[in-house]
Structures are given as C-alpha cells and as structure tokens.
Amino acid sequence: MSIAASGAVSFSDLRTEFVGGSSSISLGDLYRGGSNILSKAGDNTATNLAASVPTSGAINIGNFHSAAKGFKFTYSSDASNQNFSTVFGDDYDVNYPKIVDINSGVSVYGTNTHAITIPSGLAGGLTLNNAGTVYGYGGAANGGAGGNCISCATSGVTINNSANLFAGGGGGGAGGTGGGGSYVTTSYSYSRGTYDWICNANGTCFVHLVSISPMYHCHCMGYCWMSTTDTSCSIGGVTRRKGNLHTTDVDGDGNLERYRYYLGTDSNNSTSGGAGGAGGVGQGYNVTNASGGAGSAGGTSAGTGGAGGAGATYGQAGSAGSTGANGNASNGSAGSSGGAAGAAVAGTSVTMNNSGTIHGAVA
C-alpha cells in the first residue's frame, strides 16, 4: 500500500511500507538506492514506485507522498508474447516487490507462445492486476494445442483478475483416410468359329436367330454362350462372354444366324481411399474457431476421407476427426485427436482472486 498522496505521514507509515518490523528508523534510512528503498537496474523497464525519494542530500516527509515499495509495469497498449523477466530485467531476481497492471481495454496475447511467461528465478513476489484481456493463441488445424494465457514457473505470484483470461481453444483433428478399393477390368478380343451357335432355354442348339428371352448359357458344338444373368462362362480356361450379333445372313434365309462372342482377360485394380479433411483452427486472439473440412473422394470402390474435427472455443479441447469410410478392399482409418485446450494459468500454482471471466484451467 502506497503512502498517502497528501497530508500527514508518520514514521510508522514509512516503517510499515519500506522497512518492516518495529525498530526505530530515521529519514536517513530511507534514501532511494539504499537497502530499504532500491534503485532499479538499467534494463528494468518498470517504474520505481519510490522515484520521488532522493538518493542523497536533503530529504523530507513530503518526498514520500504517493510513494510505495516496489517496481511497477503498466500495459497501456496491446502487447504480445510477454516475458516478465525481460520486463524487470536484472531486478527480476532481486528481493523487491513487483507489480504488473494491464489496463482496461488492453489486450496481451500470444501468437506462438504463451501470452505471458513468468519464469523461475523470481524474488520479492509478483502481483498481476488484470483489467484487460489476456488471450492464448488458437490451436493450429489438425490437432494443434491451444496456447496458455499465463505460464508460471515460480511461486509467490498473485493474480487479481477483474476482466478476462481467455485460453486458446484446441485445433480440430484431421479426418481419417478412406479405405482402399478394388475393381476388375476385362480386356476383350474377338473370335468366332465357322458357326457361332446359339441355344434356347432348354439347351437345344440351332443356327437361325430366333427371339429368345432370357438367353441362357449353354454349350453347343464346343462353344459357350453366356446369358444375360450370368457373369462368365469358360471352356478350356478361356472366359467367353456374349457379344453383338453378326450382321451376316449365312444361309440366305433373311435371318441373322450368329452371335459374336468375346474372349475376356480379367485384371484386378487397386485404388486409394480419399484423404481426410483438415481440422479447424481453435479460437484465439483475432482468430475464430472453424469447422473441419470435408474429406476427399476416393478412387473406384474406395472410401471417402473422414471430415476434419471442429476447432474449439476458448479454453476447450478440439474435436477429433471422423473415421474415413470403408472401401471394398479395406476399412477407413480413424481420424486424429483434437488439440488440447490452453490453460488460463499453467505450471506452478498461483493465488487467484477472480471477479471477471476465465476460460481455461488455473494451476
């Protein structure tokens, strides 16, 4: 608590603020730069709350109005990826109180690391007063973890949150690959004998074309005919299939006598399943969480890739990607997991006094 801005100031007030204990003190004990009121290091970007106190020479009670023991840094404009050991420089590990204020309307955010890092080595304790908004970064597509608002690796930290701590949402997982497919292709060559016989439903073979429906397969004079309902017929290991009618009237009676048949060679073909859809990004500073993308279609008889999972809102884990559809040759693969949620405060436990909004876990 700082000394009053005006009016009477007692030595008891000065002892309580700057020295502690109950021993007698004099103004000579309270020069700035002494053991009770420190000067700040050259790389300390904070304000010395006792800057009004002289380092030597004349000193009086009026020099202590509004003064306090500590170094204070204030965020009055937006900032990203802050490290408090950099803020306080060589004074970070000095046993002297440290205060950070984030003003109303100000954003401190992470882009690819924690919005605020409080590393080990702190001495003198640190109080963070947040009246603005601290944002973790959104998890990347395909399962990226959300960023933390604050990563703390030291004890002695108190956080007074009266506004917003919004941890990053996890990114959605990628969709699984569709299952593989398989299909058969047949290459054909034409062949016919002197007579290409056809046969009727009871297997009787004859030369002239007549109206027969359906056409059944039968063997006539060493030839194999395939019906409209069967898929293959084989003589001597050769697949034969019904072909188009010949257009020659062999015996001159005005009727078309012959069927052409095919000699077929079957080949098995493999196709790949479709790629899974990309997962959506998680919510973070200036980033809205997004739905996952659709999977791609696979090849012939192969499965479509699974849809990507949705990215999460602040402080939530991303959704897993969907499993790819099965093909006729193999099953689709499972989608990948969604990204973990960011934390409001991660690492070493802090003292949290909250009257605002927190999305994400607090250590």
Residue 4 lies in a domain: no
CB-count burial class (<10 Å; 0-12, 13-18, 19+) for 52: middle
Structure tokens at 203: 């297997």
Residue 295 lies in a domain: yes
Per-residue DSSP letter, 29: G
Chosen domain end from 271, 288, 318: 271
Residue 202: per-residue pLDDT: 43
Per-residue DSSP letter, 266: E
187 and 151 within one domain = no
286 and 228 within one domain = no
Does 252 or 18 have the greater pLDDT score?
A: 18
Amino acid at 12: S
Average pLDDT, the chain: 85
Dump the DSSP string for 265-309: EEEEEEEPPPPPPPPPPPPBTTB---PPPPPPP-STTPPPPPPPP
Residue 239 lies in a domain: yes
Residue 37: per-residue pLDDT: 96
Chosen domain end from 243, 271, 299: 271
Quick one: pLDDT band at residue 267, thresholds 50, 70, 90?
confident
Amino acid at 206: F
169 and 264 within one domain = no
Residue 2: per-residue pLDDT: 87
76 and 168 within one domain = yes
Does 7 or 213 have the greater pLDDT score?
A: 7
Residue 252: per-residue pLDDT: 56
pLDDT, tens only, 134-164: 999 999 999 999 999 999 999 999 999 999 9
166 and 116 within one domain = yes
Q: How far is it, in rounded angstroms, from Cα 142 to Cα 106? A: 31
pLDDT, tens only, 174-199: 999 999 999 988 665 544 443 344 44
pLDDT, tens only, 348-361: 999 999 999 999 99
Dihedral of alpha carbons 155, 157, 158, 163, sign: negative
pTM of full prediction above 0.85: no
Residue 253: per-residue pLDDT: 57
254 and 135 within one domain = no
Residue 46 lies in a domain: yes
Percent with pLDDT over 70 in the chain: 78
Contacts of 43 (CB under 8 A, 6+ apart): 89, 90
- The count of structural domains within the chain is 3
Residue 6 lies in a domain: no
| Preceding amide of 54 cis, omega within 30 | no
Residue 1: per-residue pLDDT: 72
pLDDT, tens only, 317-348: 999 999 999 999 999 999 999 999 999 999 99
Q: How far is it, in rounded angstroms, from Cα 363 to Cα 348? A: 6
Chosen domain end from 207, 241, 271: 271
Residue 200 lies in a domain: yes
60 and 76 within one domain = no
pLDDT, tens only, 211-238: 333 333 334 333 344 333 344 555 444 4
Q: How far is it, in rounded angstroms, from Cα 96 to Cα 130? A: 21
Q: Does residue 242 have a pLDDT over 60?
A: no
Please give the average per-residue pLDDT across 201-205, as a whole number.
42
341 and 224 within one domain = no
Q: How far is it, in rounded angstroms, from Cα 87 to Cα 82? A: 8
Structure tokens at 294: 């659709």
159 and 230 within one domain = no
Q: How far is it, in rounded angstroms, from Cα 51 to Cα 228? A: 101
205 and 169 within one domain = no
151 and 293 within one domain = yes
Beta-carbon neighbour count of residue 57 at 10 Å? 6
Question: What domain range is 295 assigned to?
Answer: 70-173+273-363
Percent with pLDDT over 90 in the chain: 76
279 and 266 within one domain = no
Residue 110 lies in a domain: yes
Residue 1 lies in a domain: no
Q: Does residue 15 have a pLDDT over 80?
A: yes
Quick one: pLDDT band at residue 51, thresholds 50, 70, 90?
very high
